[in-house]
Each structure stands twice: as C-alpha cells, then as structure tokens.
Amino acid sequence: MSEKQINLKDVAESAGVSVSTVSRVLDGKDCVQEKTRQRVLDIARRMGYTPNALAKTLKTGQSNTIALMIPSIQNMIYPDIVRGVEDTARKYGFIVILCNTDEDQNVERSYIAKLRTHWVDGFIVASMMADSSHIRELQKDGFPVVLACRFYGNDIDAVVIDNMRAACDATEYLIRTGRKKIAFIMGRRDLSLYTDRLEGYKQALLSHDIPYDDHLVIQEPQDINSLYYLVQELTGSSDRPDAIFASNDLRAIIALRALHDAGVTIPDDIAVMGFDNVELSSLTEPPLSTVSQPLYKIGVLSARRLIHQISYKKEHGHVESPLVDILGTDLVIRKST
C-alpha cells in the first residue's frame, strides 16, 4: 500500500525547521547554514521524501514536459525522430508525451485541447497540415511550437529538409546513370513534403529536356497494398519505364517486391530509388538506393530548439523570433540503381 507521501512539512517538523528552509536546502540554494543543511538533507533521505513536481509546476508554471505529435509511430520514419527528441529532452530534464494523430485533425485538436491545459511547456509537431489552424492558435497563445519535417512559412520554428532539392538530386542521379524514362510514386497530395518531392522530380526532368509525362506518376492508392499491382501494371507493358523513384522507402520497397515477383531484374531492367533511408532500406534485396534524411538529428534539433524557446520565454516573457533550420540530405547509392 502506498504509505502516506512525505512532504516538505513533514520533513520540516522532523528537522525542527520551517518548510522554507527545507525548500531552500532541497533546491540547492546556498543561503543555508551548512549544519542545518546537512541535517535536513539527512532527514529528508531517511524519511524517503520525494518532491511533488506537480505542486512545483503549479507554483512555478513550468512542467518540464513537452508534447510530441506525430502521424504514427508505426510509420517507419518516426521511431528515429522520436528517439532524437526523447534523448535530447531527457538530457535537459524534460519528459515527453507522445501523441499519434494519424493526420486526423480531430485527434490533433483534442490532444491539444487537453495538453494546453497547463500540462506541457511546448509542442513539437510533425503532423502539421496546411489547414492546421489549431497549431497556429497554439502559437498565438504563446506556446512554444516547433515543426519537424513540415514547413509552412517562416513565421513558425521548423526543422526540415529541402525536399524539392533532394528529389531533384536523386532524379538527376538516375538521369546521369542513363535512365530516360523515370516513373514516380506519389504520396498524399495535401502534404507539401510530397508535392515538393514531385516538384523536384519534375525540375530535374525539365533541366535535362525530358518531357514530363503524367502517366508515369503513380498515385499511391488509399490501400497501400494495391500499390503492388499499380506498379506491376505500369511496368508490364513493352514500353515500360527504366527507373522508378518512390516518394518514400516503403513505397520503394513495395515496388521492389512487385518488380521482383514480375520477373524484372533490378537494377538492370528497372532501377529503383527510395526516399528517407529508413533502417530497412539497407536490408532489402537488392539493398535500396535512397535519399538519406537525418531523422534522428531532426528529432534532436527540434527538441533543442523547443527547449531553447521554453527557457527564452521563461526569461523574456515571449519566444524568440522563429528560425527555420534546413538540414542537408545525402544520396545513398546501394544496389537498386
């Protein structure tokens, strides 16, 4: 049974001092006589005193807790980001609340409604969408907010990569290695990270005088499993493409399977390029060439920035003006191209 929790008052009585003295000692304030200091520390330990962080938060207004909102931890890119956030948060004494939103605005709103209730000091959101007005409200209400992996203007802190450029580089690599007819597997059209990647692909084509062909872009179906068949369909004809650039690794891996099962040789017949460089991409057959996104680092930097904003706000009463941090990507060439 949970014995009665010891509190400051109990310790104070036992030690024959006032609560404020105990509070000072435990807070490491120096303005306490060494002798009393030792005694208090000793008694506190002996009594098994544990501070009540809640009461402290109520008083000081800082909970040392941040919320991390992501679409879904089951999406392979998030574990690394989450780890980066948590490791960093822990380092600075913060705790993280994980929120999976499935890109559902309602879930997101209800989480925010719940968390803004003085629970958390700030938010890292990797699930921002163009119409996420609640995120902007959050910001307007003075909460530190940093966006991860998504970009919606310079008026809000963000840690991102240059999706357009990265996709352009990857496409150019394909062109440079002799591919002439490159298909693209597209993701959700309402996410700028995907429209940017598509844009990069188009740009690379353009600058190499390759006409853009709509029939070469496969729109990922609602049911991801049917992507398999769409790939086989596109590559079944005689004038099939000689390369496929997928807007993320999972789609690339499915393409790999679809092609393999249809008997096409990779990369001889068709080259396949992914995007993200999730852990698995090195384990496929053949190992996948892909664009490497510094996922863990995105997590680390988002957390650092958020924590910076939290302490800045504590000191100045408001957050520092927003910064958007654009991280570099690398092309990692393995055996699929």
Partner DNA sequence: CTGAAAGCGCTAACAG
Partner DNA sequence: CTGTTAGCGCTTTCAG
| Contact residues: its own copies, CB under 8 A | 1-3, 5, 50-55, 57-58, 63, 65, 72-74, 78-80, 82-83, 86-87, 90, 95-100, 107, 113-119, 141-143, 253-254, 256-257, 260, 279-280, 283-285, 317-318
- DSSP SS3 for 158: strand
Backbone CA torsion sign across 248, 251, 252, 253: positive
List the single partner that 215 binds among its own copies, DNA, none, CB under 5 to 8 Å by kind.
Answer: none
Residue 63 makes contact with DNA by CB under 7 A: no
Query: Of 34 and 268, which has the nearer Cβ to DNA?
Result: 34
Residue 178: CB partners within 8 Å, gap ≥ 6? none
Residue 177 makes contact with DNA by CB under 7 A: no
List the single partner that 311 binds among its own copies, DNA, none, CB under 5 to 8 Å by kind.
Answer: none
Residue 68: CB partners within 8 Å, gap ≥ 6? 82, 85, 96, 97, 98, 99, 123, 124, 125, 126
Residue 2: CB partners within 8 Å, gap ≥ 6? none
Query: Of 200 and 274, which has the nearer Cβ to its own copies?
Result: 274
Q: Which of 14, 41, 47, 56 binds DNA (CB under 7 A)?
A: 56
List the single partner that 96 binds among its own copies, DNA, none, CB under 5 to 8 Å by kind.
Answer: its own copies
Residue 145: CB partners within 8 Å, gap ≥ 6? 122, 123, 124, 125, 135, 138, 139, 156, 157, 306
Considering only residues 26 to 45 of the shown chain, the ones binding DNA according to CB under 7 A are 26-27, 30-37
Tell me which residue of 278, 275, 219 sits closest to 247, measured CA to CA: 275
State how far the Cα of 278 lies from the Cα of 249, in Å rounded to an integer: 7
List the single partner that 8 binds among DNA, its own copies, none, CB under 5 to 8 Å by kind.
Answer: DNA
State how far the Cα of 272 lies from the Cα of 269, in Å rounded to an integer: 10
Q: How far is the CB of 22 from DNA (least distance, A)?
A: 7
Q: How many residues bind DNA (CB under 7 A)?
A: 29
In the complex, the residues that contact DNA under the rule CB under 7 A are 5, 7-9, 16-21, 23-24, 26-27, 30-37, 51-52, 55-56, 58-60
